[in-house]
Amino acid sequence: MRKLKLWPRPPRLVITLMTWFFLISLLSGCGKPPNAIEKYILEYSSPVIGARPQLDQNLTVEQFAVAQAYNSTDMVYRPSPYKSDVYRYNRWRVNPGYLVTDYLIRDLRNSRLFRGVFLGPNSGNSRYHLEGTVEEFQELDEPDGWKASLAINVTLLDTVQELMPQRVVFQRNYRAVEPLVQKTPHGLAQGMSQAMENVSAQIINDVYQACHNRPVVQGK
C-alpha cells in the first residue's frame, strides 16, 4: 500500500498569530460605521412678481425632463473643462427634474397670477401647458470661483389651437450662474437655490405676459 505524504504541522506560534490576525481584521471591518449620506433640497422664498391682474385661466405644468448627465440625485460638479465628478457622500433629496418642477409650481401658485396651477398630465381643464427640461444642474469649479449653474428650457403651449405648430406660444432657454458662499455641498445647495429663484421669476413673468397677450377664446 502506498503511503500518503504528510506535510509538517505548522508551529503553534504561527497558528496563534494567524488566528489573531483573522480576528482583528474581522472586528475592524465590522466595527467601522458606514459614512453618512447628507441630502439636500432647495430653499428660498417665492419671488415677488408684483401686483398684476389675475388671469381667468388655468395653467398645467408637466413634470420636467432632465438631461442624462444630471438625471440622478448625485450632486454633480465640474472640476475642469471636459471633466465631471460627483460628491461621494452628498446627494440631492430627489432628482433635479422633481426639484425644479415642484418649486416652479409652488412659485406660480404663490404669485396668484393664474386661476389655478396644476401638475400634469391629468390635472384639470387648462388652456395653457408648460413643459420643460433641466439641461444643467451642477457646480462649476472655475479659476475665478466656484459657482452653481442652472439651465432650463421651457415650452409654453396653447391647447385651444388644433395644429401643433400653432400651439407653441414660445420656447425659451433660461440660465443662472450664482457664486458659492461656501465651497461645500451645502454652499452648492445655497447657490442653486438662488439660481432657481432667479430663473423661476423670469419664467413666471414670461409665461404671464405671453398668456395675457393671447386672444380670449370663449369657453376657455
Q: pLDDT grade, residue 123 (50/70/90)?
A: low
CA dist 72 to 63, 65, 76, 180, 197, Å? Answer: 15, 11, 9, 22, 21
The mean pLDDT value for 163-186 works out to 94
Domain ranges of the chain: 40-212
The answer, yes or no, to whether residue 27 has pLDDT greater than 60, is no
pLDDT at 132: 98
| H runs (alpha helix) in 54-135 | 96-111
C-alpha cell at 55: 388671469
pLDDT at 53 over 80: yes
Cell triple for 187? 454652499
For 169-202, give the DSSP string. Answer: EEEEEEEEEEE-SSSSHHHHHHHHHHHHHHHHHH
Q: What is the pLDDT of residue 130?
A: 97
Lowest mean per-residue pLDDT among 14-18, 74-78, 110-114, 213-217: 14-18
Predicted pLDDT of residue 35: 75
Q: Which residue has the higher pLDDT, 8 or 96?
A: 96
With bands split at pLDDT 50, 70 and 90, how would you rate the model's confidence at 44? very high
CA dist., res. 181 & res. 155, Å (int): 32
Rounded average pLDDT over 82-106: 97
Q: How many CA atoms lie within 13 A of 26 on its CB side?
A: 6
Lowest mean pLDDT among 21-25, 128-132, 213-217: 21-25
Q: Could you tell me the pTM of the whole model?
A: 0.83
Q: Which fold has domain 40-212?
A: Rossmann fold (3.40.50)
Rounded Cα distance, 59 and 168, in Å? 14
Position 17 pLDDT exceeds 90: no
CB of 136 closer than 8 Å to CB of 121: no
Q: Is the pLDDT of residue 29 over 90?
A: no
Position 142 confidence tier, pLDDT thresholds 50, 70, 90? very high
Bridge partners, 175 (sequence order): 151
Q: Which of 92, 115, 118 is nearest to 106 (CA)?
A: 118
CA dist., res. 104 & res. 158, Å (int): 19
Q: What percent of the chain has pLDDT over 70?
A: 82
pLDDT of residue 191: 98
Backbone angles phi, psi at 167, to 5 degrees: -75, -25
